[in-house]
Structure 1
Amino acid sequence: MTLGSPTSGGRLTRLEWVGLAGLLLVLALWALGATPLFDVDEGAFSEATREMIVHHDWMHTTLNGEPRFDKPIGVYWLQAISVSLFGVREFAFRLPSALSAWGWSLALVAFALPRLGRQVAVAAGVILATSLGVLAIGRAATADALLNLLLTLTALDAWRWLEAQNRGEAGRPALRRAYAWMGMGLLVKGPVAVVVPGAALVLWLALSLPWREALRRLGRAAGDGWGWALLLGIAVPWYAYELHRDGQAFIDGFLIRHNLARYSSPLEKHGGSIGYYFVVLPLLLLPWAPLLAGVVAGVRRHWADPMQRFLLLWGFFVLGFFSLSGTKLPHYVLYGASPFVLLMAMALAQAGGAMRAALTVCLLLLLALLCGSAATLHLWAPGVVKPPLYRALLLGQQASPWLVWISGMAALAVLFLMTQLSRPGFTLLWRSGVAAVLLSLVSLGVALPWWGDLLQGPIKRAAEVARQRAEPAVQWGLHQPSFAVYREQEAPRRAPRDGELALVRLDQLPAQMAQVGGRYSTLYAERGYGLILWRASTVPVEPSVAQGPVTAP
């Protein structure tokens, strides 16, 4: 019996399930609110959610008062529920993503248990939960973690339906669940929720069955009336409402700009070569990237197994499809992470000493990227960073001794776990899993908050100063939507008018003043950003009142 055969089942006891789910939940929620919101994406999603609550309009999103057509409404609803329960705070905005990443990991465990056995199932859950890309989007207040959960649920239920068909059964519950997940995905992100799992299913049918049988099964899948009723019943009401409300503006903004144009051209200068994702995928799967070599080496073996062929087609379709996209963002490739993680878990279960050495190196590399780079920032940044804003940000703050000490202890612990323990039962899965969880806890609890404060702290503190003043506020020459979140008031992007506050980049301020004329007083300034009170040139200006990290006047 091969490791990947459909009959190599396994199960976890109830206590084991609770323990694994609890560990992954702790990892998902660890220090979730300890880091400021990152701009632009987290700030934009969070401010749109805040405005939806303030405006009492849960069917339409705006950003600083302007319609926002970037994404459908689904994730905003979940964020709004969370914020209504926990208040306007980072934890609340990120909670839906954290729970989605948690559910995503558990979905892989539940799928793998009866098909690949206990060891591979647990490995898949731990690998996914501790991979760099999943750690990132699982604590980002955006739609991507939720979309990945829904894509995974759809594709896994599509395979469950194919399994039932192979046994001569109808498999309607799995098929209709897949339709429901697709409907939810359309409500969270858009057409990609149908394209990715649909392509995996069609490719498997075309490459695995005689063409007549493939067409018959495709007809059964596409012709399920109840499935379509679920999909359309979930997705269509909101789309119909937006089309009725905004008409052509919704079509141009959502369908054309953020879907068709995003695929056909580099939107917002997010381009890349055709090999972009073949580099990005291993980086996002750190520290587990060496296991991809095991997947590639075993492609023929995987292809011979029907389920593993489905996983290969799913993963490589995502790689190929988004490699041809004009707009390239790193997280797009995570739409194909689930199948690769399942295959990587199989490689881990069969790995030997060479793989242990490679994983040890990658664990330490990831620790160096997240913690070591922060500890040595003052050494390498002066010769590398040239733009004035980023020089001011990165060179204005030293790593704390706490960060240096904790990251050093974590490195020693990883080395001990991976090289010194030799007791029976301390398998490579046990060693690398414990090391990856430890590294994740250190990175999320110590390194990420430090980086967040380095990059976003000045924006948050400027907003807190502005929140204690009555004047309207704008963003002048920059786009930091988290400023509006923390101030809890809209902050449009335009030049200030007399008597308004403005968030500015200090390096650009002289040129901006030369264009519009006027005077200002500095209310707050920190590492390249400033909060000013603008006055027309004929109005007397009060003296500057704040410089550096201070409290509001």
Structure 2
Amino acid sequence: MRNDAALRMNGARALWTAARGTAMQARPLLAVALALYLGLFFRLGDFPLFDVDEGAFSEATREMLERGDFVTTWLNGELRFDKPILTYWLQALSVSWFGLDEFALRLPSALASAGWVVAVLVFTRRLAGEAAGYAAAFIAATTLGVTVIGRGAIADALLNLFLALAMFDIYRYLVEARVRYRRRAWVWMALGVLTKGPVALLVPAAASLAAYTLQGQLARWWKALRDPAGWLILLVVAGPWYLLEYLEQGQAFIDGFFLRHNVERFVAPLQGHGGGLLYYVPVAVLLLLPYTGLFLRALRELPRLRATPLDTFLWCWFLFVFLFFSIAGTKLPHYLLYGITPLFILMALHRHLLTSRWLAFGPPLLLMGLVVALPHAARIFGPRARNPYYREMLSQADVVGAEWQIAAAALMLCVLGLALMPRSPLWPRLAGCALLCAFAFGGLALPAIAALQQGPVKEAALLARAARLPVRTWQFNVPSFSFYRQAVTPRADVLRKGEVVLTRSDELARLGEIAVLYRKGGVVLARIES
């Protein structure tokens, strides 16, 4: 009997030990899964679409489904040549499955970003071990730039997925010279061209040229570039849509897409999006929150960029994107994301070199401080704004309640507690802070900002839809209004008595006598009386 009891006890201990070991092994994977949920999917469809980009993509997708035209995109009844077709197709597919709402329109971006994170995990784990792989994936999932772009109903998350997959295979070809890596990279670039155009070829080609040259493999790079099979892949995957669009729209497509939205975007600021040569320095600081301190520590390793082929490749990738878009005429923060993937890996590889507590925890405390300060800043600066539109937008009192402020303060205290925790490794605490920051930004800040800026636009659209009002826009570019109204809303070039217009409160003085149908947060729906 005693022997039986001892055997049962030993068996129970063995099972407990095995279960505990399995749980320990699963912890990094569970951490990445939690990071993905908080960074990309938490409250994904709980706030209105942002204008201009989200509204434009979403309304163009709605019009695509309404027209039944899956080649040419239209926005408010006018041709839209801003981006190629793949994102619209994926949004249309998602809407067909889940319904025409914010969640369905943002889901392709969230899934693409999740694939982007998984690609980082697989690539880094193979080259630098499991711990570095999971760390790189965790950083990618909880970095502010990815959290923002991964929740946007736009093309950039999908493009970054294809850029990462292409660059990873280009690196594999650098070190192993297998044809399958070269051909697969062409597939990813072709899909990128179908997502956002020539930039999907430019970034991989130019960044890899620098890396291959520094590694003495220029001949191998040139061989890959001249690969007939690669160009055939590009033509087969991306060519049909470009050909069909040209056959339908002719020179207008060439002028609108290639010349205006690619060539002009580089040589001059488009739509007022300009900036100096140092534009992307503060952008990098913000996009990499809450890991900015870790990035600054990793940046000290830049002089050793030729230490290994991987170091060379990653630094050339980031530096090309940073320098190229610094000299480009049009500057937008998300352009730097095309070169942010290598930073996730570099920060993961150098995470244990971070020894300064304030360098580690200053950025997450800054990010949490911004979240906590959001309603107070609106309350202080809103009434002081000279422009009526911004004054009314920031002065809305019903956007952030007591529960929101309590939650933000509690998260701030948790981050502060992790920062002040004595005699504990920095990296696990920084990772914990990143999860809290992802929860705060995605669950609190983004919905609050959307409610301030876009909530009134959505309310006005739903009112106009319910009343079946024919509306035109006056000096107000908010395509999400058309999406929520589920009808094309043309621009008003001339005001006519009796028509209803959507405008901003700072444009009211130019309208003459009006009857206000809706006014909130600087958004005005009015009927022209004279």
Separation in structure 2 between the aligned mates of residue 343 and residue 235 of structure 1, nearest angstrom: 32
Moved more, 182-191 or 446-455: 446-455
Separation in structure 2 between the aligned mates of residue 332 and residue 226 of structure 1, nearest angstrom: 30
Name the aligned partner's letter for residue 389 of structure 2: L
CA displacement at 1:15 relative to structure 2: 4.4
CA displacement at 1:485 relative to structure 2: 0.5
Residue of structure 1 equivalent to 2:444: 446
Separation in structure 2 between the aligned mates of residue 474 and residue 533 of structure 1, nearest angstrom: 10
Separation in structure 2 between the aligned mates of residue 179 and residue 17 of structure 1, nearest angstrom: 32
Moved more, 219-228 or 38-47: 219-228
Name the aligned partner's letter for residue 337 of structure 1: I
Residue of structure 2 equivalent to 1:297: 300
Separation in structure 2 between the aligned mates of residue 17 and residue 59 of structure 1, nearest angstrom: 43
Residue of structure 1 equivalent to 2:527: 533
CA contact (8 A) 1:403 1:447 kept: no
1:326 to 320, 326, 329: 329
Query: 4+ residue stretches of structure 1 with deviation over 6 A?
Result: none
Separation in structure 2 between the aligned mates of residue 13 and residue 221 of structure 1, nearest angstrom: 43
CA displacement at 1:219 relative to structure 2: 3.4
Q: Deviations over 1:40-87 (max 9, x none)?
A: 111111100110011111111000010000000010111111111111
Separation in structure 2 between the aligned mates of residue 308 and residue 239 of structure 1, nearest angstrom: 37
Residue of structure 1 equivalent to 2:19: none
CA displacement at 1:350 relative to structure 2: 2.7
Separation in structure 2 between the aligned mates of residue 461 and residue 96 of structure 1, nearest angstrom: 25
Q: Residues 408, 297 of structure 1: CA spacing in aligned structure 2 closer, same or farther, 3 A cutoff?
A: same
Name the aligned partner's letter for residue 40 of structure 1: V
CA contact (8 A) 1:322 1:333 kept: yes
Alignment RMSD: 1.9
CA contact (8 A) 2:418 2:433 kept: yes
Residue of structure 1 equivalent to 2:14: none
Separation in structure 2 between the aligned mates of residue 436 and residue 388 of structure 1, nearest angstrom: 37
CA contact (8 A) 1:414 1:435 kept: yes
Q: Deviations over 1:200-259 (max 9, x none)?
A: 2111122221xxx522x1232123333222221111000001111111111111000000
CA displacement at 1:264 relative to structure 2: 0.1
Residue of structure 2 equivalent to 1:56: 68
Name the aligned partner's letter for residue 378 of structure 2: L
2:137 corresponds to 1:125? yes
2:86 corresponds to 1:74? yes
Separation in structure 2 between the aligned mates of residue 30 and residue 312 of structure 1, nearest angstrom: 32
Residue of structure 2 equivalent to 1:84: 96
2:45 to 33, 42, 53: 33
CA displacement at 1:499 relative to structure 2: 4.8
Separation in structure 2 between the aligned mates of residue 178 and residue 336 of structure 1, nearest angstrom: 17
2:173 to 161, 172, 176: 161
Residue of structure 2 equivalent to 1:359: 360
CA contact (8 A) 2:47 2:447 kept: yes
CA contact (8 A) 1:151 1:185 kept: yes
TM (norm. structure 2) is 0.91
2:279 corresponds to 1:272? no
Name the aligned partner's letter for residue 174 of structure 2: L
CA contact (8 A) 1:315 1:336 kept: yes
1:199 to 206, 215, 239: 206
Name the aligned partner's letter for residue 459 of structure 2: R
Name the aligned partner's letter for residue 489 of structure 2: A
* Equivalent runs, 1:146-545 vs 2, <5 Å: 146-165=158-177, 171-209=178-216, 214-215=218-219, 217-352=220-355, 354=356, 356-383=357-384, 385-397=385-397, 399-420=400-421, 422=423, 427-494=425-492, 495=494, 497=496, 499-513=498-512, 520-534=514-528, 537=530
Separation in structure 1 between the aligned mates of residue 497 and residue 468 of structure 2, nearest angstrom: 14
Separation in structure 1 between the aligned mates of residue 420 and residue 173 of structure 2, nearest angstrom: 43
Separation in structure 2 between the aligned mates of residue 33 and residue 14 of structure 1, nearest angstrom: 33
Moved more, 369-378 or 177-186: 369-378
CA contact (8 A) 2:48 2:454 kept: yes
- Among all aligned residue pairs of Structure 1 and Structure 2, give the percentage whose two residues are the same amino acid: 42
- Secondary structure in 1 aligned to 2:526? strand
Separation in structure 2 between the aligned mates of residue 24 and residue 241 of structure 1, nearest angstrom: 41
Q: Deviations over 1:177-220 (max 9, x none)?
A: 110010000001011101101112111122221xxx522x1232
Residue of structure 2 equivalent to 1:5: none
CA displacement at 1:418 relative to structure 2: 2.8
- Secondary structure in 1 aligned to 2:43? coil
Q: Deviations over 1:124-181 (max 9, x none)?
A: 112121111111111111111111111111111100111112xxxxx12221111001
Name the aligned partner's letter for residue 244 of structure 1: L
CA contact (8 A) 1:34 1:445 kept: no
Q: Residues 381, 505 of structure 1: CA spacing in aligned structure 2 closer, same or farther, 3 A cutoff?
A: closer
Structure 1 stretches lacking a partner, 5+ long: 1-11, 166-170, 514-518, 538-553
TM (norm. structure 1) is 0.88
What is the aligned length?
Answer: 505
